[in-house]
Amino acid sequence: METKSVLITGAGRGIGCEIARALAADGYQMILIDKHFPDDFESTVELMTKENIPHLILQVDVSKKDERAWLLSEIKQTFGSLYGIVNNAGIHNHTQFQNLTEDMFDTTLDINVKGAVFLTQEMLPLIKDTGSIVFISSARAFIGSDHGVDYAVSKAGMIGATRSLAVELSPRIRVNAIAPFSIDTPMIAGDDETERQERFDHILLDRIGTPQDVAHAVRYLLAEDSSYVTGQVIHVNGGAYFGG
């Protein structure tokens, strides 16, 4: 069976790192990028090296056109083609509306949605038939936020991109999104006790989600098991939002 290469953005920590570990276990060749890799990412690199998983680890800012172009050349030279992209890179300012600046808004959209869209566009020549693209959106795209208008707007933009690209790239490439809610990552590590309790109050399954929960959904959307699924949003949220 042909080995497939998958590009994961924001792979250095949290959800992205867990997706990388899960897909490596499935035997994919890995291209892992992040703006900054933390020191503890070394354990992920060691895992792939130990398991003889072909991989590229590259420091890339997806909001920068020249860095995306360099990434394209590196992937083309090393692997020649791509099977899938997981657009996971993102930032969240946790800023209330009255304190939101235009610069903050622009930066959030540049990374969360503009970077994802144009990275996907630039990688298209490398993606083979039956390829799969996954956008990591958020339940905030549907239910809004009282501390991140910019974040909610960017994640809603990812949903629009998902549905539009599913139409435009069919039948050659499938495009889907995942919309998590309250996943236990550094992004919510700063919550105080009240904020964490508010998250629990919205979750029917009575636990905060894990990065593994999201990784399982990504594995499905990249696998042949989902070959008849495109243009969809999978809500990984413990019942906090039913979808629609």
| 3-state DSSP assignment of residue 13 | coil
Residue 189's φ and ψ, nearest 5 degrees, are -65, -25
| 3-state DSSP assignment of residue 223 | coil
Q: Where are the alpha helices (DSSP H) in 79-192?
A: 102-109, 115-123, 140-143, 149-169
**Could you give the CA distance from residue 9 to residue 16 in angstroms, rounded to a whole number?**
7
DSSP letter (8 states) at residue 183: B
The residue annotated as part of the active site, out of 151, 220, 228, 241, is 151
- Residue from 58, 149, 72, 59 nearest 109 by CA: 149
**Could you give the CA distance from residue 34 to residue 69 in angstroms, rounded to a whole number?**
15
Contact 138, 153 (CB under 8 A): no
228 noted as active-site residue: no
- Residue from 229, 203, 235 nearest 217 by CA: 235
- Residue from 168, 143, 141 nearest 231 by CA: 168
Secondary structure element (H or E) that encloses residue 180, with its range:
strand 173-180
Give the active site residues.
Answer: 151
